[in-house]
Amino acid sequence: MLRASVLAVLPLVANGMTVTLHGSPQSRSPLVNWYMIEQKIDFKMANPRPSGHPFGQIPFLTDEDGVEVFESGACLLYLADKYQSSSAVERASWTKWVMWANSELDGLCFGAIPGDHRVRGESMSKPEVRSVGRLNEILGEREWLVGDSFSVADVACASYLNYVPIFHRNADLSATPNTAKYMLRCAERPAFAEAFGEGHLQLTLTLTLTLTLTLT
């Protein structure tokens, strides 16, 4: 299995088109890596800086058409639109989840506020928070967020959720078992470890696998 360090220097061989992603394992660029690996999109990694990002941040994506995209959610939506979408209706089914991940789930997982991404705490262990409780209900009704298969919506949401074990190792998700099982399903996909690295995967499994076995 390829690791994140290998992916930094070797592009994936896929559909003959090349995407360049400026990023690093310590940023949110692995979200974009995960989707590209899942979709077998040919890409190569580039140094975080310099890039064309107007604010000097990462991730920043360019492709063979000269398109430039920044913000992880925008990168995901562009790639899904270009390589997977068949209609505006299909795009709408996952766009809402990607936008929700960036606008609300981010804060629930990190306690971040607009313009300041410092980690302040998490709310995913608090089912009394409306969005937390409702997400657990939704994931009790379906395996994936959109339709019957894994999609870019799951990449966006599960990436944030699976950061919780990294930054909040004492988080108690026992009151949201459906969310915990969903996190595990997503983390067990081979492309997850390729994008985020084995260390990230093991921390996620330590929390979610132990919890789901207890709840079974």
Q: What is the pLDDT of residue 151?
A: 96
User: String of b and e for 66-76 (b: at least 16 CB within 10 Å)?
Assistant: eeebbbbbbbb
Cα separation, 76 vs 80, in Å, equals 6
pLDDT band of 209, cuts 50, 70, 90: low
- Is the CATH number 1.10.10.60 carried by domain 4-215? no
pLDDT band of 212, cuts 50, 70, 90: low
Q: What is the pLDDT of residues 90-111, one digit of tens each?
A: 999 999 999 999 999 988 888 6
* Average pLDDT value for residue range 2-25: 58
Q: What is the pLDDT of residue 199?
A: 84
- Range among 6-15, 46-55, 103-112 with highest mean pLDDT value: 46-55
Q: What is the pLDDT of residues 110-169, one digit of tens each?
A: 865 555 555 566 788 888 999 999 999 999 999 999 999 999 999 999 999 999 988 887
Query: Which percentage of the chain shows pLDDT scores above 70?
Result: 83
Give the rounded distance of the alpha carbon of 107 from its chain centre: 14
Give the rounded distance of the alpha carbon of 166 from its chain centre: 14
122-126, 161-165, 171-175, 182-186: range with lowest mean pLDDT: 122-126
Query: Which percentage of the chain shows pLDDT scores above 90?
Result: 62
Three-state DSSP string of 147-170? CCCCCHHHHHHHHHHCCHHHHCCC
* Average pLDDT value for residue range 183-192: 95
pLDDT band of 7, cuts 50, 70, 90: very low
Torsion angle, CA of 27/33/38/39, rounded to 10 degrees?
A: 140
- Lookup result for tokens 């939704």: 138
Q: Residue 62 — φ and ψ, nearest 5°?
A: -135, 160
Q: What is the pLDDT of residue 116?
A: 53
pLDDT band of 215, cuts 50, 70, 90: low
For 200, counting Cβ atoms within 10 Å of its Cβ (0-12 exposed, 13-18 middle, 19+ buried), the class is: buried
Cα separation, 181 vs 199, in Å, equals 19
pLDDT band of 213, cuts 50, 70, 90: low
Strand partners of residue 8: none
Task: Write the CA distances from 105 to 16, 50, 61, 70, 215, integer angstroms.
Answer: 34, 29, 23, 19, 24
Q: What is the pLDDT of residue 172?
A: 87
Contact 120, 111 (CB under 8 A): yes
Contact 111, 119 (CB under 8 A): yes
What pTM was estimated for this model as a whole? Answer: 0.85
Cα separation, 27 vs 146, in Å, equals 26
* Average pLDDT value for residue range 186-213: 84
